[in-house]
Amino acid sequence: MSGHGFLRIAAEEAFAPAEVLDRYRKLIDAGTLNDPGFTSLMGFYLGSSPRARQVMGRMTDLGKLRLRDMDESGIAKQILSLTSPGVQVFDGATAVALAQSSNDQLAEAIRNHPGRFDGLAAVAPQDPPAAAKELERAVRRLGLKGAIVNSHTHGEYLDDPKFWDIFEAAAALDVPLYLHPNTPSPAMIAPLLERGLDGAIFGFAVETGMHMLRIVVSGVFDRFPRLRMVLGHLGEALPYWFFRIDFMHRAMVAANRYPTVKKLDRKPSDYLKENVWVTTSGMAWQPPILYCQSVLGADRVLYAMDYPYQFVPEEVKVTDDLPISDSDKKKLYQTNAEMVFSLAQPLVTNFA
Ligand code: MN
């Protein structure tokens, strides 16, 4: 598992209670939800193709099968989160209740397998005060290490101040918020769906990169300067765009072209370098990993596998073979995750 002077911690690893999957199925069957991306993608994964069965067979497992896969691929620890889109497709009351039960089950799995799992809380952005409360419960009482939000919630984005209770709670608790992909929102999915580009191939990055940029330019990090966020898939392409984003943002503020584009305390890329960490989930390719380390710094890039969607044990070797120093490799695999998610400092208190 180690033997290289580091432990491999994988930071974006999915699970789902069977109850959540059953509710996804019922929601799709009812035909009442306007979310073509969810219906298409989750409809596929709840189907009977070999790929769907392989992924979903592992999704619900928080024991033997998962631990065997981790051992075979050299993963010491998974940081688990409820699979995308989490509880965000449900009505508010259902979402709040399912986030709680899912977090309770996650905490139980972490207790049952000491040292092998940590977790991020599911929250229901549909009810921001309840989401903030659940995040506090999950961190203080369940020992979870932050929260995950799967991009849009019924087509809405977190830069809307009505959601800022969630940022406030994360900043106050000093835990990160992982902005995980979702299929593009109903307002932008049509041209992607027509060519099968809505999912992991590209649509996730379009949706999630845009969402992160909305958060940046809305001034969330000026309001919550200590807020930490995490992006998967090597930053959903944003690090490649820093130069142009900064240049154009400055130009647009100067031209006063949009009433919603305001001057920020710092350049957009400053927030993306200083408030945001990125993981390598689904991106087992050396050039962009090295690029992100050079642009963001070796302290800002973390390993993730994206299990069980991406379970290709040979890909670990791609990361092992990166032409970087042993100390940077330890940062990538272990210590950056320990730092961002405060893994070394159990926050669980006994007042439950
Ligand atoms: Mn993922």
Residues around the ion ligand 1 (C-beta < 5 A) = 12, 306
Of 108, 178, 168, 169, the C-alpha closest to 139 is 169
Count Cβ atoms below 10 Å from residue 200 Cβ, excluding itself.
16
Helix (H, G, I), strand (E, B) or coil at 203: helix
Expressed in angstroms and rounded, the spacing between residue 293 Cα and the centre of ligand 1 is: 20
pLDDT at 344: 76
Expressed in angstroms and rounded, the spacing between residue 174 Cα and the centre of ligand 1 is: 23
Positive or negative, the CA dihedral 70, 290, 177, 40 is negative
Helices marked H in 174-303 — which ranges?
190-194, 203-218, 220-223, 233-236, 242-255, 268-274, 286-296
Burial of 256 (0-12, 13-18, 19+ CB in 10 A): exposed
Burial of 306 (0-12, 13-18, 19+ CB in 10 A): buried
Q: Alpha-carbon distance 122 to 159, whole Å?
A: 19
Task: Report how far apart the first and last C-alpha atoms of the chain are (Å, whole number).
Answer: 34
pLDDT at 4: 74
The verdict on whether 306 is a catalytic residue reads yes
Q: Alpha-carbon distance 169 to 149, whole Å?
A: 14
| pLDDT, averaged in runs of 10, over the chain (352 residues) | 80 98 98 96 97 96 98 97 98 98 98 97 98 98 98 98 98 98 98 97 98 98 98 98 98 95 97 98 98 98 97 95 97 98 67 40
pLDDT at 181: 98
pLDDT at 345: 60
Expressed in angstroms and rounded, the spacing between residue 180 Cα and the centre of ligand 1 is: 6
Expressed in angstroms and rounded, the spacing between residue 181 Cα and the centre of ligand 1 is: 7
> Which residue out of 35, 69, 118, 306 is catalytically annotated?
306
Which domains can be identified in the chain, with CATH numbers?
9-340 (3.20.20.140)
Expressed in angstroms and rounded, the spacing between residue 76 Cα and the centre of ligand 1 is: 18
pLDDT at 1: 47
Expressed in angstroms and rounded, the spacing between residue 38 Cα and the centre of ligand 1 is: 14
